[in-house]
């Protein structure tokens, strides 16, 4: 597993995790409340400006982590172009890219342990009803950690396919990708059992 925190130190690294997550929630609510393309372009430009504040290296790191969105962007824009609702598609794409970029900005400037501490505090009331919140915390931590790892492995499988064939990989890498994901899950399960499990 890899760390999602950026090696480039920023002022946001010193902000409380709870504040950053609260601002992210508020920003996401605003994004879904607005329907104007111009405003969404403005929001995206502001997000890019936030990435640029620490420097070009930080911007490139952030862009590298959200590049997995581009196939979805292409499909959404193509579909709405065909159906004649291109403006609606543009709003959806701008909203999605901005929301994911902001979430990525939070994960790049916040340690996973700090985010889990916030989650633990939010889940505290559930303990009174007998809910084992430790399992929820662990599940969230694994999702956050493994999402970029699996995305990277999927990219490596696609590159390996392109090195051996002229055709695009497409669905052909689904099976080896699933095997890799299951193999990683088994290794994590064994590691958890070796440390006492839950």
Overall pTM > 0.95: no
- Summarised one tens digit per residue, pLDDT across range 117-147 is 888 888 888 888 887 787 787 777 777 777 7
- 76 and 162 both lie in a single domain: no
Query: What secondary structure does DSSP assign to 94-161, as a single string?
Result: HHHHHHHHHHHHHHHTS-HHHHHHHHHHHHHHHHTTT--HHHHHHHHHHHHHHHHHHHHHHHHHHHHH
Q: List the chain residues with pLDDT less than 50.
A: 1-3
How far apart are alpha carbons 96 and 44 in whole angstroms? 10
| Residue 16, helix vs strand vs coil | coil
- Of 165, 183, 138, 146, the C-alpha closest to 3 is 146
- 140 and 46 both lie in a single domain: no
How far apart are alpha carbons 109 and 106 in whole angstroms? 5
pLDDT of 95 reads 94
- 7 and 72 both lie in a single domain: yes
Q: What are phi and psi of 51, to 5 degrees?
A: -70, -30
- Integer-rounded Cα Rg, in Å, for the chain is 19
- Summarised one tens digit per residue, pLDDT across range 25-42 is 999 999 999 999 999 999
pLDDT of 33 reads 93
Q: What is the count of structural domains for the chain?
A: 2
80 belongs to a structural domain: yes
pLDDT of 128 reads 83
- 33 and 105 both lie in a single domain: yes
- 28 and 102 both lie in a single domain: yes
- 103 and 137 both lie in a single domain: no
37 belongs to a structural domain: yes
Residue for token pair 């430009």: 45
- 2 and 35 both lie in a single domain: yes
- 46 and 105 both lie in a single domain: yes
Q: Do 94 and 38 touch, CB atoms closer than 8 A?
A: no
Task: Tell me which residue range forms the domain holding 65.
Answer: 1-110
pLDDT of 1 reads 35
Distances (CA, A) of 56 to 60, 98, 109: 6, 18, 15
Q: What are phi and psi of 6, to 5 degrees?
A: -70, 140
pLDDT of 102 reads 93
How far apart are alpha carbons 80 and 52 in whole angstroms? 31
115 belongs to a structural domain: no
- 13 and 94 both lie in a single domain: yes
pLDDT of 2 reads 41
- 180 and 148 both lie in a single domain: yes
How far apart are alpha carbons 62 and 58 in whole angstroms? 6
């Amino acid at each position: 597993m890899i760390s999602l925190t950026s090696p480039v130190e920023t002022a946001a690294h010193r902000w409380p995790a709870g504040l950053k997550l609260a601002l992210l929630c508020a920003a996401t609510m605003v994004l879904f409340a607005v329907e104007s393309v111009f405003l969404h372009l403005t929001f995206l430009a502001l997000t890019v400006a936030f990435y640029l504040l620490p420097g070009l290296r930080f911007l490139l790191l952030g862009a590298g982590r959200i590049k997995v969105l581009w196939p979805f962007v292409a499909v959404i824009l193509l579909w709405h172009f065909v159906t004649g609702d291109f403006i609606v598609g543009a709003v959806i794409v701008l909203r999605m890219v901005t929301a994911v970029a902001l979430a990525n900005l939070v994960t790049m400037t916040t340690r996973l342990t700090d985010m889990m501490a916030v989650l633990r505090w939010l889940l505290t009331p559930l303990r009174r009803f007998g809910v084992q919140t430790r399992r929820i915390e662990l599940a969230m931590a694994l999702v956050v950690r493994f999402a970029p790892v699996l995305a990277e492995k999927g990219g490596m499988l696609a590159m390996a396919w392109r090195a051996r064939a002229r055709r695009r990989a497409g669905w052909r890498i689904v099976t080896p990708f699933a095997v890799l994901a299951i193999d990683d899950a088994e290794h994590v399960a064994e590691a958890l059992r070796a440390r006492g499990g839950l």
